[in-house]
Amino acid sequence: MVILSQIKMQVILKPLLISSPTMLTPPKPSCFPSSTLIKKPPFLLSSFTTTSFSFSSILSDPSRFTSSVIYATPESQLSEGIDTNTREWVMQDFYALRKDVEAASEHVEEIRASAGLQLLEEELVHLESKAADSSFWDNRAKAQETLLALTDVKDKINLLNEFKTQVEDAETIVKLTEEMDSIDAALLEEAVNVIKELNEALDRFELTQLLSGPYDKEGAVVSITAGAGGTDAQDWADMLLRMYVRWAEKQKYKTRVVEKSMGEEAGIKSATIEVEGRYAYGYLSGEKGTHRIVRQSPFNAKGLRQTSFAGVEVMPLLPEESVDVELPEEDLEITFSRAGGKGGQNVNKVETAVRITHIPTGVTVRCTEERSQLANKIKALSRLKAKLLVIAEEQRASEIKQIRGDAVKAEWGQQIRNYVFHPYKLVKDVRSGFETSDIASVMDGELDAFIKAYLKYKYSMGVTIY
């Protein structure tokens, strides 16, 4: 291999040889010992005996080399250029951060003014004086209401003060950066995180200001039922169940699946989940209605496009003692059945499941999660009362016997939101008009944008739906 490389080198240099009595002798390769003689082919020796070569003549004529020369940049100049560019980028980030801090500061002052901080502080003093009264617990129901109102006012004042503290922290970092000779990237990152969290908290606070219903602060009970579409509809109902559970997890709410009826092939026929958390019902109340999906059916051998529907009902999760509704026994139809599923022989042999129908309105609830018939009956009655309260609020009725149930029809023309997976990707709310093409995020529980758009729509239209 060494000899072959020498031959190639001589062939390349042959045209460059100029008249000279000196013959170019290639150096001995280092891989051979000095005593080893390398025999060159005779034809090469004869060809080089009449030619001469001069390196100086070649180097003196740069035109012989057509390739460009790349000069290395000194490391000091390179690092200096990088530092300069980095500083320019950091300064641009700093200027953007300063604008964000100024905007957030103005936003905080607007919210504190619109929330009436001074009035809240006066109300706090009044409620604390009432709670300190010796006769405060004479009326237990009123005492509970007063304590809830006191907690709400305290939480709101603390939140408004926390907004002020956060924006002041960000302003302090900006001032320190302006006074320093160099920019501390860690400080800037801290300020960016503070402003990001503050903006998210301000958005949540503005949303809660739109919630003024009597039950908006309560938890929620979400019922999902498969509609028209067969197996695809049952699979769609299961997808909606996962979507709402994921949303609740992101809000740090507690969820519990209290009832679930599985489909024959896939998905679920129906399911009920309890979402425990402040303002859960207020946020989810706008999800009530029919949800429509358009996609290529995974259950169709031809992969045809399929339209399916699922109905969602939402009612507040009210404590038993707070549901002050009297339901005459003659207006209730109570039936018992076996719950089935997991739970041992008790739920499979004893009729523990309870189904209650309110005869005047046709509203029906079913409870199966408890192990005893009595516990299921109590819970079912509580849910029925909550549902009747919601219907009464919707229809502005003074008496429950005048209410006619408005059960959700999960079919064509009744949808509140469309989820299109094929031939394009789009989720659009029919009421507010809000839409997005990021359907994967929506199905993973990113519903805040839809909830906010609907609440603003409801507020602007002057519609109250609870």
Asked if residues 428 and 434 have their Cβ atoms less than 8 Å apart, the reply is: yes
Chain-wide mean pLDDT for the chain? Answer: 75
- The string of pLDDT tens digits covering residues 77-91 is 434 444 555 556 666
Higher pLDDT, 123 or 404: 123
- Name the phi and psi angles at 254, rounded to 5: -90, 135
pTM of the model: 0.61
The angle subtended at Cα 311 by Cα 441 and Cα 228, nearest 5°, is 105
For residue 143, pLDDT over 70 is answered with yes
Tell me the range of 301-310, 363-372, 375-384 where mean pLDDT is highest: 301-310
Give the pLDDT of residue 62: 44
Give the pLDDT of residue 200: 84
For residue 234, pLDDT over 90 is answered with yes
Rounded to an integer, the average pLDDT of 45-55 is 40
Distance CA 388, CA 323 (A): 10
The amino acid at residue 226 is: A
| Confidence class for position 462, pLDDT limits 50, 70, 90 | low
Rounded to an integer, the average pLDDT of 392-405 is 46
Helix or strand holding residue 336 (H, E): strand 332-337
Residues whose CB falls within 8 Å of the CB of residue 239, separated by 6 or more in sequence, listed in order:
267, 293, 443
Beta bridge partners of 87: none
The helix-helix angle for 140-179 and 117-131 (nearest 10°) equals: 140
Asked if residues 316 and 281 have their Cβ atoms less than 8 Å apart, the reply is: yes
Distance CA 185, CA 89 (A): 11
With tokens 């989820």, the residue in question is 419
For residue 404, pLDDT over 80 is answered with no
- The string of pLDDT tens digits covering residues 239-253 is 999 999 999 999 899
Rounded to an integer, the average pLDDT of 387-405 is 54
Give the pLDDT of residue 32: 42
Rounded to an integer, the average pLDDT of 348-361 is 76
Distance CA 139, CA 156 (A): 26
| Confidence class for position 48, pLDDT limits 50, 70, 90 | very low
Closest alpha carbon to 458 in 213, 152, 280: 213
CA distances from 232 to 37, 228, 238, 412 (A): 85, 9, 10, 15
Token representation of residue 334: 């109570």
Rounded to an integer, the average pLDDT of 152-179 is 88
Rounded to an integer, the average pLDDT of 279-303 is 89
Listed range (263-267, 300-304, 447-451) with the worst mean pLDDT:
300-304
Q: 429 in helix, strand or coil?
A: strand
Residue 421's Cβ-count burial label (10 Å; 0-12, 13-18, 19+) is middle
Residues whose CB falls within 8 Å of the CB of residue 350, separated by 6 or more in sequence, listed in order:
338, 373
Distance CA 172, CA 181 (A): 16
With tokens 């049952």, the residue in question is 234
Q: 298 in helix, strand or coil?
A: coil
- The string of pLDDT tens digits covering residues 27-40 is 444 444 444 444 44
| Confidence class for position 393, pLDDT limits 50, 70, 90 | low
Helix or strand holding residue 346 (H, E): helix 345-349
For residue 362, pLDDT over 60 is answered with yes
Give the pLDDT of residue 273: 93
Rounded to an integer, the average pLDDT of 255-271 is 89
